[in-house]
Amino acid sequence: MNIGPYSVEDYMHLVKSFHGNIAPGIIIGGFMVDLAVKSLPEGILFDAVCETSACLPDAVQLLTPCTIGNGCLKVVEFGRYALCLYDKYQGHGIRVLVDTEKLEQWPEIKTWFLKLKPIKEQDSKILRDGIINAGLDILSIQYVKVKNMLIGKTGNGAIALCPECNEAYPIKDGHVCLSCQGNNPYYRDSQAQNDMPSLNIFTIVKS
C-alpha cells in the first residue's frame, strides 16, 4: 500500500523530518490526502482546506502542492478530522473524513480517535500498526462544492505605513494596522534583551 508516491515507510520518514514525530493522525492524514487526490479528476488544479490545524495540514503540505504560505491550503478550526481538496476555480471537490461508524471495526483506533482512554494507557505500536492496516477502511468521502469564501485569492490590496508602528500594512484594515488596533501579541520593553543573556549579539543587524 502506498501513500501518494511513497511507500508507507518512506512517507513516515518524510513525516519524521518535516512534522517532527510520526503521530497517529498524520499517518491517517496521509491516507486521507491520498484518497482525496486520487478521487479528483486527473490534472485538475486544486486547493485544500483542513478542518483542524492538528497534524492534517502537514499531510496536505507533504503530499500536494498546497501549503499555508502559497495560499492554496486553508485551515478552518472546526476540530473535525476532515479535509477537502477542491477545484481551485469551480469549487467542486472531495471531502474526506474519518468515519466513526467504520471505526467500530478498529477498536484501538476508535479508542485513540475519540479519546476513550488516556494516551499513556494506549499502545502506540498497536495503534500505528492498526492505522496502517486499516488504511482507507476507516475513511469516507463526500462530494461537495465549497462556498465562495474558499475560492480564489483575496489579495491584501494597497499598502500603507501604520502611523503607530511604522510598519507596512494593508490599508483595508483601517487607519492603523490590526496589531495596533489592540491585538498586539507581544510585550516589548528594554528588559527583554536582558532576559536573553546568551543572545548571540553578533548576528544582530545594526540599526
Contacting its own copies within 41-100 (CB under 8 A): 41-42, 49, 51, 53-59, 61, 65, 67-72, 75-82, 84, 90, 92, 95, 97-98, 100
33 contacts its own copies (rule: CB under 8 A): no
10 contacts its own copies (rule: CB under 8 A): no
Least Å distance between CB 123 and its own copies? Answer: 20
Site string for its own copies, 96-135 (x = CB under 8 A): -xx-xx-----------xxx--------------------
Q: Which of 48, 34, 12, 52 is nearest to 136 (CA)?
A: 34
Least Å distance between CB 7 and its own copies? Answer: 18
Cβ-contact 170, 181 below 8 angstroms: no
Cβ within 8 Å of residue 168, ≥6 positions away: 159, 160, 161, 162
Cβ-contact 29, 59 below 8 angstroms: yes
Measured from the CB atom, is 125 or 148 closer to its own copies?
148
185 contacts its own copies (rule: CB under 8 A): yes
Task: Candidates 1-9, 33-41, 122-130: pick the segment binding its own copies (CB under 8 A).
Answer: 33-41
Measured from the CB atom, is 61 or 128 closer to its own copies?
61
- Region 143-182 residues binding its own copies, contact defined as CB under 8 A: 143-147, 149-150, 156, 158-159, 161, 165-170, 173, 177-179
Measured from the CB atom, is 19 or 128 closer to its own copies?
19
Query: Which triple of cell numbers denotes residue 104?
Result: 467500530
Cβ-contact 37, 65 below 8 angstroms: no
Strands 73-75 and 159-161, by their bridges, are: unpaired
Cβ-contact 131, 28 below 8 angstroms: yes
Only one residue has cell 517532527, namely 20
Least Å distance between CB 129 and its own copies? Answer: 20
Cβ-contact 58, 32 below 8 angstroms: no
| Identified binder of its own copies from the candidate list 1, 45, 126, 199, rule CB under 8 A | 199
Strands 46-50 and 73-75, by their bridges, are: parallel
